[in-house]
Amino acid sequence: MRLMKYLISLAILIAAASLVRAQEVVTDPVSDALNEEMHLEDLAKYVQMVENQVQQIETLTQELQQTEAYVKAFGDPSQILNVTGANQLIGSLQDNGVGQTMSQLQQLATGAGALTYTSNGLYQSQGTTFTAPDGTQFPRNEDLYKMYGAVQQDSQNFQSVTNDVLTRRETLRQEIANTIQELQSSTTDAETQKLNGVLAGYNAELQTVDREIDHAAEQVTTQDAENQADLELEEQARREDRQAELQEGFNNYSSAFQIDASAPAIPSGN
């Protein structure tokens, strides 16, 4: 660039010198001297203007080279559109899992289901009927067993959630491994930052998925606690009924058998 500047300046000076020689026919030495001086000043200003433009071009070239070096080192985030693992992470975040709410499980519970539940053969079915001593078959009151069916529904939900979570955890762990491999081979800061964002999302999703198992287990515990509270409530109601019956029996007994509180009569000696 500086060589170009010198060549331009030299060309201008040569042109100026030739113009001066072409005007050697002097008619007025003083006027010619003034004109020549003014002409040289104009040429000097023009040379300075050209030098300023050359300097501006050099500055812009250096800035462009610095920008290109920055983009090469840090990358252009707008050009990185397909980040490894991003679509898979979005899909995982949109997956609600197989778990059901406690209200849904309570609505699914039935007394018949509780009476015939065997937990894959672990327990013995009680059946929906029972046999009296004389051999007569009577249906069981299924409403009395519905509360146990709710716990069984919670337990089955816990197993389903656990199996689902274990499968999803394995997928998430594999995607985390893939993202880390991409991080190791990333060439720009922009790519590295986006991959780190995806990796943070996967770690957060892994913790959320694990929490689903805890939530399903808490539902089992909560339902069992409600059942125990209901049994205690029924027992308290039975005690109150028995107490009322005893009190009523005592009152009836007192009314039927009045105690004579009057003083006994002493027989006279006559």
State the pTM of this model.
0.61
pLDDT tens digit sequence for 88-127: 888 888 888 889 999 999 999 999 999 999 988 888 899 9
Closest CA to 46 of 25, 22, 19, 24: 19
pLDDT tens digit sequence for 201-221: 999 999 999 999 999 999 999
Q: What is the mean pLDDT of the chain?
A: 79
- What is the percent of the chain where pLDDT is above 90? 35
**Looking at this protein, which amino acid is placed at residue 43?**
L
Token pair listed for 228: 């125990």
What integer pLDDT is reported at residue 200 of this predicted model? Answer: 92
Does 2 score more than 70 pLDDT? no
Closest CA to 157 of 100, 107, 119: 100
Does 22 score more than 50 pLDDT? no
Q: Which runs of consecutive H residues, i.e. helices, occur in the chain?
A: 2-22, 29-74, 86-93, 102-108, 111-116, 146-185, 189-256
More confident residue, 247 or 129: 129
What integer pLDDT is reported at residue 264 of this predicted model? Answer: 59
More confident residue, 165 or 75: 165
Does 261 score more than 50 pLDDT? yes
Per the CB < 8 A criterion, the answer to whether 84 and 175 are in contact is no
> Average pLDDT, stretch 10-30?
54
> Average pLDDT, stretch 49-77?
69
